[in-house]
Amino acid sequence: MEVHEYFMAKALELAKKAYQIGEVPVGCVIIRDGKIIGQGYNRRESQKNALLHAEIEAINEACTNAGSWRLSGCAIYVTLEPCPMCAGAIINARIGQVFFGSRDKNFGACGGVLNLFEENFHHKPAIIGGILETECTGLIKDFFANIRKSEG
Amino acid sequence: MEVHEYFMAKALELAKKAYQIGEVPVGCVIIRDGKIIGQGYNRRESQKNALLHAEIEAINEACTNAGSWRLSGCAIYVTLEPCPMCAGAIINARIGQVFFGSRDKNFGACGGVLNLFEENFHHKPAIIGGILETECTGLIKDFFANIRKSEG
């Protein structure tokens, strides 16, 4: 298995934890020197907090572990294309590379609705989308199909 | 004093706390029904955390106090135009009105570099900039002038 698929599979494991507690299944890991230094999954509903997307939890943990707000040299793997808040946080933390699984045409800020990394800000991370896309998209579709079934 | 100047003055008091600990002086309050339910100031350097802008601290506290990730009906007052992360967090929290003091042409996401609230996302807060602009801009200019002076 390629390194990108390996780390995206780790993010998918975290997304499944979100699924199990009734959250939109998104998971994230942050890598430095081949090691996971931050991870998280969406907990917005359960924690009643608009900030608690997977990426924010992972960046928070990575800053703590790195002892710095600068995550230069890090890569972030997230199962869903980051929203504007999370893409902005990635810029603020100077994360160098962004890998995501599923494209988000409704709220994505890495090409879905717009691309914050191509705008005139001081830091422009590299983006690669579509890593384990079938699995990442399938998990989210399955989640919403189950919600509709239970509401039906 | 008008209500907007009153709350921006509260945000300015918080910005001065940031100044005192050597942080870029930005402060923020969130208002619901005329009361402050969240507040914060920039602590990125002292906490070594890329997420800890004034608005993020204030939104975090407001969600805790509201017991919900939805801050509908709230207004946010911040001394500096929000960056992409913070503007995205404002969208995610469904905050209705955004008042800021100083314009940020280098990193602002409410008209400075781009305007996230005019993009095709699901929530478009109202924006009013320039509240106590002279005081808010003066504080930041004074902060950077002092840094340059101490750096000789």
Q: Which of A2, A5, A23, A55 is the catalytic position?
A: A55
The Cα B59–Cα B36 span in angstroms is 11
Q: Is the pLDDT of residue B1 over 70?
A: no
Instruction: Give the pLDDT confidence score for residue A151 in this predicted structure.
Output: 82
Which residues does chain A have with pLDDT short of 70?
A: 1
pLDDT on residue A44: 98
Q: Does B67 touch chain A (CB under 8 A)?
A: yes
CA distance A118 to chain B (A): 12
Task: Kindly report, residue by residue over A121-148, the tens digit of the pLDDT.
Answer: 989 999 999 999 999 999 999 999 998 8
Proportion of chain B above pLDDT 70, given as a percent: 99
Q: What is the pLDDT of residues B82-114, one digit of tens each?
A: 999 999 999 999 999 999 999 999 999 999 999
A68: tokens are 């710095």
Active site residue A55: yes
Output the pLDDT for position A68: 98
Interface pTM, i.e. ipTM: 0.96
User: Is residue B44's pLDDT more than 90?
Assistant: yes
Given a cut of 90, whether residue B147 has pLDDT beyond it is no
Q: Chain A: nearest CA to B120, how far in angstroms?
A: 7
Q: Is A28 on the interface with B (CB under 8 A)?
A: no
Chain B residues in contact with A50 by the CB 8 A cut-off are 59, 63, 69-71, 89, 92-94
Residues of A within 8 A of B84 (CB-CB) are: 84-85, 87-88, 91, 109, 116, 121
For residue A13, the model assigns a pLDDT of 98
pTM of the predicted protein model: 0.97
- What pLDDT does B67 receive? 98
